[in-house]
Chains A and B, each alone.
Chain A
Amino acid sequence: SAVISQKPSRDICQRGTSLTIQCQVDSQVTMMFWYRQQPGQSLTLIATANQGSEATYESGFVIDKFPISRPNLTFSTLTVSNMSPEDSSIYLCSVGYGGGTEAFFGQGTRLTVV
């Protein structure tokens, strides 16, 4: 299993600014992912955070808007850049061990852009 801590848990930000979300795992994990969950919606995968290399983004998400860092096997950050009200969502960090086994999620960061 894995215990995931996300910071901040929530924030209210001004449009045009950026917010960096941190994800800390209590053990080394191979795979880390970032998801977005818009109000009342399901989860959408933003990107896979690759350790030591650039993140792999899903269709519709770009590095300039959502830069991701993964400096080691227990930590990752997601930045939401140049925010607009449409970026108001819950952002979730997830970790997995590959092979189709159970994935674990953080509590999420509730972002409101005003």
Chain B
Amino acid sequence: LAKTTQPISMDSYEGQEVNITCSHNNIATNDYITWYQQFPSQGPRFIIQGYKTKVTNEVASLFIPADRKSSTLSLPRVSLSDTAVYYCLVGSHGSGNTGKLIFGQGTTLQVKP
């Protein structure tokens, strides 16, 4: 499984857009990029997943450049409730995927009023 690198922490203010970048230089052709969010005292929760270019859902957008060696999670207009740890994971799809998730250190986002 490709190793990922993220900033350890980020600060933001309510109403701002937050972009968290993840590096995955050794990403394989079959690998997808997935982001999870973890609030204190809860298990991680799936946010978004993508393979290339841009993916958007009701929570976030995921930008993936052509070389796929990095990705950026974008959270529009954050609120205090977006304070959490955000994990970037890389893994393959298809029958070869065992379902195991290997978590990196994650990025602790602190949103301030």
A: number of interface residues (CB 8 Å): 25
Over the window 73-112 of chain A, the binary record of Cβ atoms lying under 8 Å from chain B Cβ atoms (1 yes, 0 no) is 0000000000000000000101011111111111110100
Main SS of chain B's interface residues? loop
Query: How many Å lie between the Cα of A23 and that of B97 in the bound state?
Result: 23
Smallest CB gap from A58: residue in B: B100
Which residues on B sit within 8 Å (CB–CB) of A4? 43
A48 touches B100 (CB 8 A): yes
Which residues on B sit within 8 Å (CB–CB) of A108? 41-43
B93 touches A100 (CB 8 A): yes
Query: How many Å lie between the Cα of A58 and that of B103 in the bound state?
Result: 14
> Among B14-22, B44-52, B59-67, B71-79, which stretch is in contact with chain A?
B44-52
B: number of interface residues (CB 8 Å): 25
Query: How many Å lie between the Cα of A43 and that of B98 in the bound state?
Result: 17
A100-B44 contact, Cβ under 8 Å, with A42-B104, A48-B98: no
Interface residues of B (CB under 8 A from A): 32, 34, 41-46, 49, 87, 91-95, 97-106
Supplied contacts A45-B102, A98-B98, A99-B97, 20 more A-B pairs, CB within 8 Å: A33-B99, A33-B100, A33-B101, A42-B87, A42-B103, A42-B105, A43-B101, A43-B103, A92-B43, A98-B97, A100-B92, A100-B93, A102-B34, A103-B99, A104-B43, A105-B42, A105-B43, A105-B44, A108-B43, A110-B41
